[in-house]
Chains A and B, each alone.
Chain A
């Protein structure tokens, strides 16, 4: 991987400066049943296409942000700061 990723703080930077934390997951609003819990914790869509992902500017400004990336081409359609929302850190 050698594409550029645009940090909402720092602008386009080499992808090696970032840590990718995988596709966004949605934390259940209320106590889930067993199926709901394992879906949330372990299952991923692993899309071949545009995927919404968590990224962390580890060797930069240390900001967490979201990116829409096409997993087939590594084209990043947009990056943005998270809104308080249902998109939550990966549970594992």
Chain B
């Protein structure tokens, strides 16, 4: 099958490689591509086309078009003409129902009818409306190329790498390599990206990434490079584009038949893979490249029937015909030439796409019939053919579709767009090439216009009786080369933050849940029982997720008083105050406790999910104020647990080095002490409504502290409790959750916390907005409610008054301690009084409830202070 050894052959005949195609073994050699090995085995048809399911074979032979796309080892749309052979690969045809030879969907080509014209789905398939679901199902099955392997999700791993280069050369041809060499010789750090995969030469002093493809030039000179399983995001000081030129096809009836090649495919078949491309060849060429193949073909044993030079003797008519999708002859001006291969060459077009993406202007050179780039942006350079250094070719006629309708005449083989489709679009009024492109999808297929861009513009110009310069080009957009979605998506990341006590929760069988990036224990066994246990004995919860900031410096008090509506300067050292952070719009953004640890030192806690926002907020304002204060984020370095319940003091007494009596540490006291031998900041606060202590200590002690508390509290009835029981407990106390009970309209006044806002302060963030709220009066208020019949309404449920909406539920839970369904809601001000009767929409009906303004549990806070 192979020719005798060729001077430049790329195959190693001593190293056979076997792979599978349709249940049989195909043998190639090291250096073959899957496409060339299939060709050697006699397989000429490699795919079925996008719309008409016509047989297609090798066309460009250089990885540019869609003709050889197959499924290899489950990966769809692999261009087998450039995919190296590998042992044991499974190669399958795609886009066929049946086989490559007998594809049932080819009926579309034979019968045509309403399915064939461009845009048929906009017109044909919209009526009757009720049939659309059926149409859609059918179309979904037929449309698209290739099929995804549903189980391949984790089969391959993709990564992204950020890289820099002083000079990035795109394209490893002669000019690209010269540019790389000279830049390297000048001492620059050079990276060359080459899609063919030739390694760096011995003497080359630069890095070569191959096979790899630059898929675009983005803003800021960002060049993503597809290197298979790694996406390199290159930033280069200088980008040298050496993408060469693209061989252009000719447009004539039957130009998509198997056996019609561009010159490069034939050159590679003979030169690199030592294959005889056919028995009888016709060459139709507008430049020397095509004609030069005649000698080569003769040497390979192919009989060159005729060489037609479009520059000297352009035929008026040219049409190819075939049998079963394969070329069987060409008719030139009425003369029948029997052949099994045809080399067409419409000259070469600079592959300017990357340059256009970078911002270059693209102009038509009428003399040479090509588009050339000009006005390159700074730091971008074009060398070689892409800059326009291509030998002049004759400008081929836009098409050779004469009076006779001999066969389909393809402008775009990827998308099966024919000359007739283009003309039809023009007749329908698509007079701009950009719109016609979208309507016909010409240039929108896998080749991204490599083969169809120039022919379509040329056709468009002729139909409009104008020139190519007037028509102009369509906008070049990434990706320039096809790229797999996996590569763009990168590795699947699911970042999670875990506290230093995390493993203890898992060992205890806790149900874990997400709160922001944090993983937290929802509950251990039963949320209601865990809540009850806090009321009866003692419970412990991991609150390491709280944001923890140290604010210190001579201006610390002033800084916090400007940020918060509260006052902090009058606090005694060792005391704690609840603070609500607001914006200048008056909106509540976060809440937490502020403990004064020293004259110039405050310890601030934030909500678990608000920590990052709060620290950014603090630093933003101080970037403006320039106060003598620093904010240190201790969130990750400190662990924290809340020990709460009537017996928590007794437990603490067993482990503390200090007086744990109510006088020794009273409600809202903060002290730096030792607990179980660990230095702790202890905050006596009561988020869950019982006597309780928050211990903040160095993170590595997390598990030790947790274990010690459970061990020393065992006889007291200690049990860990999760986030859900904590939510029940805080609701019993009407303690708000920012983001749950508040939204972008909520302010501290209407949220029922007027004592927070010290409006007599000179200034603080949000003061003016709060003053305005006070002046205009309340529009709604945050209140508690309890259901009269025990049903728990949904959060977000509507509150109804006289058939109209009068508010909404923000939180609702069943309290096992109270034996009632309780909640919080925003209501109209006239309903915000103790005992007001309201109705809440539940399951389509209405359930009655009563408004409560004081905490449901321990309204006077006696248990907190005891």
Contact = CB atoms under 8 A, between A and B. Distances in A.
Interface string A81-92: 110110111011
A82 B626 CA distance: 9
A50 to B, nearest CB: 17
B587 interface: yes
A87 B584 CA distance: 14
A15 B378 CA distance: 20
Contact of B623 (A19, A37, A82): A82
Given A37-B769, A41-B769, A92-B587, A2 B620 contact: no
Given A34-B772, A89-B624, A92-B583, A4 B619 contact: no
Interface in A56-92: 56, 58, 62, 64-65, 74, 81-82, 84-85, 87-89, 91-92
A15 B616 CA distance: 18
B585 A3 contact: no
Interface string B38-55: 000000000000000000
Given A37-B768, A40-B584, A92-B585, A3 B220 contact: yes
B162 interface: yes
Contact of B162 (A14, A19, A82): A14
A41 B766 CA distance: 10
A37 to B, nearest CB: 5
A2 B220 contact: yes
Nearest to B617: A89
A26 to B, nearest CB: 11
A32 interface: yes
A47 interface: no
A91 B583 contact: yes
B586 to A, nearest CB: 9
B624 A41 contact: no
Contacts of A89: 617, 620-621, 624
A88 B617 CA distance: 11
A82 B222 contact: no
Interface size class on chain B is 20 to 34
A87 B219 contact: no
Interface in B592-651: 616-617, 619-621, 623-626
A2 B222 contact: yes
A21 interface: yes
A54 B620 CA distance: 9
Contacts, number: 64
Interface string A7-50: 00000001100010100000110011010010011100000000
Contacts of A56: 616, 620
Contacts of A74: 219-220
Interface string B201-222: 0000000000000000011101
A84 B220 contact: no
A85 B222 CA distance: 35
B584 A15 contact: no
B769 A64 contact: no
B178 interface: no
A87 B624 contact: yes
B219 A1 contact: yes
B624 A31 contact: no
B235 interface: yes
Interface residues of A, number: 33
Given A1-B219, A3-B219, A82-B623, A31 B583 contact: no
B771 interface: yes
A37 B585 CA distance: 8
A91 B220 contact: no
A4 B375 CA distance: 22
Nearest to B218: A2
A24 to B, nearest CB: 10
A38 to B, nearest CB: 9
A6 B771 CA distance: 40
Nearest to A62: B619
A15 B219 CA distance: 11
B826 to A, nearest CB: 20
> Which of A4, A58, A81, A89 has the most C-beta atoms of chain B within 10 angstroms of its own C-beta?
A89
Contacts of B620: 21, 54, 56, 64, 89
Given A91-B583, A91-B585, A32 B219 contact: no
A81 B539 CA distance: 49
Contact of B768 (A3, A14, A32, A54): A32
Interface in B832-864: none
A84 B623 CA distance: 7
Interface in B374-406: none
A91 B584 CA distance: 5
Interface string B772-791: 10000000000000000000
B585 A41 contact: yes
A82 B220 CA distance: 25
Contacts of B616: 19, 56, 58, 62
A58 B613 CA distance: 11
Given A32-B768, A34-B772, A64 B623 contact: yes
Contacts of B772: 34, 37
8 residue pairs, one from A and one from B, having the closest CB atoms: A91-B584, A3-B220, A64-B623, A84-B626, A2-B222, A2-B218, A89-B620, A2-B219
Given A14-B162, A91-B583, A92-B585, 20 more contacts: A1-B219, A4-B235, A14-B222, A19-B616, A28-B768, A31-B771, A32-B768, A37-B772, A64-B620, A64-B623, A81-B623, A84-B624, A84-B626, A88-B621, A89-B617, A89-B621, A91-B584, A91-B585, A91-B765, A92-B587
19 contacts: A1-B219, A3-B219, A3-B220, A15-B220, A27-B584, A28-B768, A37-B768, A37-B772, A40-B584, A42-B585, A58-B616, A64-B623, A65-B623, A82-B624, A88-B621, A89-B621, A92-B584, A92-B585, A92-B587
Interface of B: 162, 218-220, 222, 233, 235, 583-585, 587, 616-617, 619-621, 623-626, 765, 768-769, 771-772
